[in-house]
Amino acid sequence: MLLEKRFQECTHNSSYTARRNMTNDIVVFESCHNILFSGDDNELFNENITPINKKKSLKNYEDLISVDRIMENEKRKNELICEEILEKLGSYNPYSLFIMISMAILWALAAMNLMISAFIVDLTYANTSSNNIIDTFQLIEDKSYLVNMFSSSFMFGSVIGGIVIPIFADYFGRKTNVGWCTFILGAAGCGIAFVNKYYHVLILRFIQGVAFHGTIATNWVLSYESVSIKIRSFSALIFGVIWVVGYCVIAPLAYYFTDWRDFCFFTALPTLIFSFIVFATIPESLGFLIYKKRMDDIKKWLKYNKKFSKFFGKKNFIDIDNLINSISNNTNESRIEDTEKLSIIRKVANFFTTKKILFLNLIIFAFVWTTDTVIYYALSFFSTNLSGNMYINYVLSGLVECPSYLVVPFFLDYFGRKGLTFIMHFIASIALFLGLIIGQDQHIIYLLIWLTGKFCISCTFTSIFVYGSEIFPTSYRNVLLGFCAVISRFGGIIAPFSKSLDVLWPKASIALFASIALLAALLSLILPETGKIKTFIRKKK
């Protein structure tokens, strides 16, 4: 009866929107008022509320709820103002579209800097190169393990970047963060071509990894906070397709540049050049300016928007002065920041002491996310090791991602979040287990098996952000999703080394991928379903 009452309240009081938390880079699809999926009174998790038999516990719990309400109300008010302004400016406002496309291009550049590992450390590519990194630094025999550090150092940097960069983005702003991360990513990549010590190469790759987060997550936030709600779901498709473009363009570059130094330099140079374009043309996100209540900058943003729109022929503009005036200037920002820090500490303490089922969900979800990271990067990096043309194999492994961006929204509604997670991991495990039976001598069949696994993992990678945003209650969402994201990046660190298992048995690595995919599928059955509830609410409305 209680859940049914919640359904009725939700369908009567809430509107279904997509929004982004200010301190997190995950798109959150949820009810405006979070009636079903909110806070500590969430019956879907069947958890006990914080014990109140002691006055101290009661005071802490009431303080925590009070802090959450202050922050959520303030953030939501700012978000609604921003969304209304962007809606009045128009869904296809040229200025917003320019920002979105510019930030999407950064995904292609980021993919180029990441995926050079697929060729740089590949033995087949090294044997056909005029100058390869293995011979340059004598990475043979007892030093052969250092070859994979070229990829792992980048991924380790992304772990650090995933922790540090969002803090800088919330403090200094999205544009500053994106601009400097783009510059560092490009400059460090170009610098690799000129160093003469391998540990210098690894340090520069680590620095690239730290900056990588700013060009793959913070730029998404900047775009998200600068376009209307109607365009946000479409932008996910644009970003995904442009990522694949950057992923695939590495193949012709690797074919043309046979010297590894030239290859590194010319894949990073466009990123370095684009950083100056970011500093010169991209504004701060409107959402961030409203959140910080920088009134002069908000007016400048709207002024440039008007000039840009006039250039493309727009003549009629809606008056939004009343919305600008509604932005409160009386909020005590320091108080919110202090209470937010205190709230996080209490959330973590309360989580580990009272939320046992949520803790189980956290462990399972972190494992599933890590599994997807390991398999995705392994199938991407090692696609050049398959029999046949290494360049064609690599491009196909990138192109197979495109359909996932198109079909996942339909799969999520049809199978549900839990159903899609189970089915895709299960199919991936079956495909990879077939790879143990079918040898690479049957090139076409083996390639199809490989691509099937890559497609399934791409689907789960695409859907995992939606599922993760719904599976955790609002009051813990930022902390728990951030934890899962950081843990999953360790999967990216070990992925390049997984191929070393083939020394023990030629098919050991693919057996490992198949096994963990199957385990992830089975463990996902323990997770709660959130999609069917969301679908029910939409149909009820």
The domain limits of the chain are 98-281, 355-541
For residues 411 and 416, what is the distance between their CA atoms, to the nearest angstrom?
7
Query: Letter for the amino acid at 475?
Result: S
Output the pLDDT for position 441.
79
Instruction: Give the right CATH number for 98-281 from 3.40.50.970, 3.10.180.10, 3.60.20.10, 1.20.1250.20.
Output: 1.20.1250.20
| Average pLDDT of the residues in 452-461 | 93
> Backbone phi, then psi, for 36, in 5-degree steps?
-80, -40
Q: In a 10 Å sphere around its CB, with 0-12 CB exposed, 13-18 middle and 19+ buried, how is residue 87 labelled?
A: middle
DSSP 240-308: HHHHHHHHHHHHHHHHH--BHHHHHHHHHHHHHHHHHHHHHHPPPPHHHHHHHT-HHHHHHHHHHHHHH
For residues 439 and 15, what is the distance between their CA atoms, to the nearest angstrom?
53
| Average pLDDT of the residues in 433-441 | 86
> Which band of pLDDT confidence, cut at 50, 70 and 90, is reported for residue 73?
low
Output the pLDDT for position 386.
86
Domains 98-281 and 355-541 in one fold: yes
Output the pLDDT for position 420.
92
Q: In a 10 Å sphere around its CB, with 0-12 CB exposed, 13-18 middle and 19+ buried, how is residue 413 labelled?
A: middle
> Between the ranges 33-42, 289-298, 469-478, where is the mean pLDDT highest?
289-298
pLDDT of 431 strictly over 70: yes
- What residue has token string 């303080």? 63
> Which band of pLDDT confidence, cut at 50, 70 and 90, is reported for residue 127?
confident
Q: Which two tokens stand for residue 534?
A: 């969301």
How many residues does this entry show for the chain? 541
> Which band of pLDDT confidence, cut at 50, 70 and 90, is reported for residue 276?
very high
For residues 136 and 118, what is the distance between their CA atoms, to the nearest angstrom?
18
Domain 355-541 has CATH 1.20.1250.20: yes
> Which band of pLDDT confidence, cut at 50, 70 and 90, is reported for residue 349?
low
pLDDT of 538 strictly over 60: no
Kindly report which listed range (134-148, 207-221, 387-401) carries the lowest average pLDDT score.
134-148
Report CA-CA distances (Å) from 215 to 5, 181, 186, 202.
44, 6, 11, 20
pLDDT of 239 strictly over 60: yes
Model pTM score: 0.78
Output the pLDDT for position 50.
41
Instruction: Quote the Cα angle for 302-308-314, to 5°.
Output: 100
Q: Are 395 and 511 in contact (CB under 8 A)?
A: no
For residues 250 and 190, what is the distance between their CA atoms, to the nearest angstrom?
15
For residues 541 and 538, what is the distance between their CA atoms, to the nearest angstrom?
5
pLDDT of 86 strictly over 60: yes
pLDDT of 429 strictly over 80: yes
Mean pLDDT score across all residues of the chain: 79
For residues 227 and 96, what is the distance between their CA atoms, to the nearest angstrom?
5
pLDDT of 22 strictly over 50: no
| Average pLDDT of the residues in 64-86 | 67
> Which band of pLDDT confidence, cut at 50, 70 and 90, is reported for residue 317?
low
> Which band of pLDDT confidence, cut at 50, 70 and 90, is reported for residue 29?
very low
Higher pLDDT, 354 or 472: 472
> Backbone phi, then psi, for 122, in 5-degree steps?
-80, 130
Output the pLDDT for position 456.
95
Model pLDDT for residues 206-237, shown as the tens digit of each residue: 999 999 988 988 898 899 888 888 887 778 78
Q: Which two tokens stand for residue 457?
A: 């993992």
| Average pLDDT of the residues in 145-155 | 91
Q: Which residues pair with 311 in a beta bridge?
A: none
Output the pLDDT for position 348.
58
Query: Letter for the amino acid at 406?
Result: L
Q: Are 289 and 301 in contact (CB under 8 A)?
A: yes
pLDDT of 257 strictly over 90: yes
For residues 50 and 353, what is the distance between their CA atoms, to the nearest angstrom?
9
Nearest Cα to 70, choosing from 333, 293, 354? Answer: 333
pLDDT of 395 strictly over 80: yes
Kindly report which listed range (82-91, 130-139, 334-343, 529-538) carries the lowest average pLDDT score.
334-343
Output the pLDDT for position 53.
46
> Backbone phi, then psi, for 415, in 5-degree steps?
-95, -20
